[in-house]
Amino acid sequence: MHCIVLWTQANLLTSNSLFDLTGKTAVITGGNGGIGLGCARGLAKSGANIAIWARDNDKNAAATKELQALGVSACSYLVDVTSRQDIENAIAATVSDFGGVDILIANAGLNIRMRPEEYSEEIVDQIIDVNLKAVFTCSQLLYPELKKRGGGKIILIGSLTSVQGFGVAPIYSATKGAVVQLGKSLAAAWGADNIQVNTILPGWITTEMTSVTRAIPGLPEHILSRTPAGRWGSPGDFEGIANFFASTASDFVTGTSIQIDGGFTSTLALFDLPKD
Ligand SMILES: NC(=O)c1ccc[n+]([C@@H]2O[C@H](COP(=O)([O-])OP(=O)(O)OC[C@H]3O[C@@H](n4cnc5c(N)ncnc54)[C@H](OP(=O)(O)O)[C@@H]3O)[C@@H](O)[C@H]2O)c1
């Protein structure tokens, strides 16, 4: 699980920027693709070293290589976030490789879509374990490491469904609503330790997770017709907000959430008045 950390030029740069992350280390669960990798790119471009925790070895290796090319140190660790033992092992390895952890982005997520009456108990547990229990466990087990550094940043990933229901994803929606409340509670508990906890609520984003949704006839067009930005989001849309929540620029921002959805949740419908 160990890897060699290269202290490259990016680690040695100094800057006054509020957004500078030079010398910081971020753990990103599910950072090997999609929104997690988008967040990783945003942090790496501001100088942070990145530890990716995810299960797929090939995707981990490709993402790590890409981040290293940005001039920072990046390592990946094989972690199933539903395993407490995996998380404990990964914390030990990450701290040993990087010297500590300053930022957690609890991004790994799972959505299995079906009508409420169709769920088995096993699938219910699976979704809750990844989307809620693991988010809590990663935060809880990394808390002593952030505290040791004199403070830190925890960024949780909610969803449109944190604030809106979704008839074909009731358990996913429930976990994403709960993540927002978890973020508020962790912010309250750890504020005195200079740890800020905030939640990003993505809208409709083109990643592996939405490949099934995007294939449903008519649905992509329906989504566009309700989105003021007039497009789907992409992982690149998360670089800036992840950088903000990970940096000193957000030191007085905690226990809150922000929608990165091109305006989808802010709008009842998109139509103009008829011309007379
Ligand atoms: N895409 C959207 O439109 C959208 C909208 C709202 C919210 N979100 C949320 O954004 C987050 C990222 O989603 P995404 O769209 O980027 O999805 P994605 O492309 O499917 O990526 C999910 C990531 O989570 C990792 N992961 C899943 N289960 C894991 C486990 N048990 N242990 C460790 N890693 C695990 C996967 O890596 P491995 O398979 O290698 O483990 C993968 O990197 C999720 O929390 C999701 O709910 C997405």
Is 3 domain-assigned? no
Ligand 1 in reach of 50 Cβ (< 6 A): no
Note down the domain range covering 143: 9-266
Is 208 domain-assigned? yes
Model pLDDT for residues 22-60, shown as the tens digit of each residue:
999 999 999 999 999 999 999 999 999 999 999 999 999
The closest-lying atom of ligand 1 relative to the alpha carbon of residue 172 is 47
- Tokens at residue 175, please? 């976990």
Q: Tell me, in angstroms, the distance from the centre of ligand 1 to residue 116's CA.
A: 22
| Residue 15: band (very low, low, confident or very high) from pLDDT cuts 50, 70, 90 | low
Does 11 score more than 90 pLDDT?
no
The per-residue pLDDT for 272 is 85
Pocket test for ligand 1, best of 35, 53, 210 (most atoms within 8 A of CB): 35
Is 256 domain-assigned? yes
Pocket test for ligand 1, best of 179, 201, 209 (most atoms within 8 A of CB): 209
Is 109 domain-assigned? yes
Ligand 1 in reach of 80 Cβ (< 6 A): yes
- 44 contacts 22 by C-beta, under 8 angstroms: no
Q: Tell me, in angstroms, the distance from the centre of ligand 1 to residue 110's CA.
A: 6
Tell which residue, 34, 158, 179, 52, has the closest CA to residue 104. Answer: 52
Is 20 domain-assigned? yes
Kindly state the percentage of the chain with pLDDT values over 70. Answer: 94
Q: What is the pTM of this model?
A: 0.95
| Residue 271: band (very low, low, confident or very high) from pLDDT cuts 50, 70, 90 | confident
Q: Give buried/exposed letters for 247-265 (b at 16+ CB in 10 A, else e).
A: beebeeebbebebbbbebe
The per-residue pLDDT for 14 is 47
> Which residue, by CA, sits nearest to atom 32 of ligand 1?
80
Model pLDDT for residues 246-264, shown as the tens digit of each residue:
999 999 999 999 999 999 9
The closest-lying atom of ligand 1 relative to the alpha carbon of residue 108 is 24
Is 13 domain-assigned? yes
Phi-psi region of 239 (alpha: psi -120 to 50; beta: other; left: phi over 0): alpha
| Residue 67: band (very low, low, confident or very high) from pLDDT cuts 50, 70, 90 | very high
Ligand 1 in reach of 129 Cβ (< 6 A): no
Ligand 1 in reach of 262 Cβ (< 6 A): no
| Residue 193: band (very low, low, confident or very high) from pLDDT cuts 50, 70, 90 | very high
Q: Residues, the chain, total?
A: 276
Model pLDDT for residues 102-156, shown as the tens digit of each residue:
999 999 999 999 999 999 999 999 999 999 999 999 999 999 999 999 999 999 9
In sign, the C-alpha dihedral spanning 76, 35, 73, 105 is negative
Is 4 domain-assigned? no
Q: Tell me, in angstroms, the distance from the centre of ligand 1 to residue 16's CA.
A: 33
The per-residue pLDDT for 199 is 99
Model pLDDT for residues 203-234, shown as the tens digit of each residue:
999 999 999 989 999 999 999 999 999 999 99
Residues labelled catalytic: 172
Domains: count for the chain: 1
CATH number at residue 223: 3.40.50.720
Task: Return mean pLDDT, the chain.
Answer: 95
Is 272 domain-assigned? no
Does 8 score more than 70 pLDDT?
no
Ligand 1 in reach of 35 Cβ (< 6 A): yes
- DSSP code per residue over 99-140: S---EEEE---------GGG--HHHHHHHHIIIIIHHHHHHH
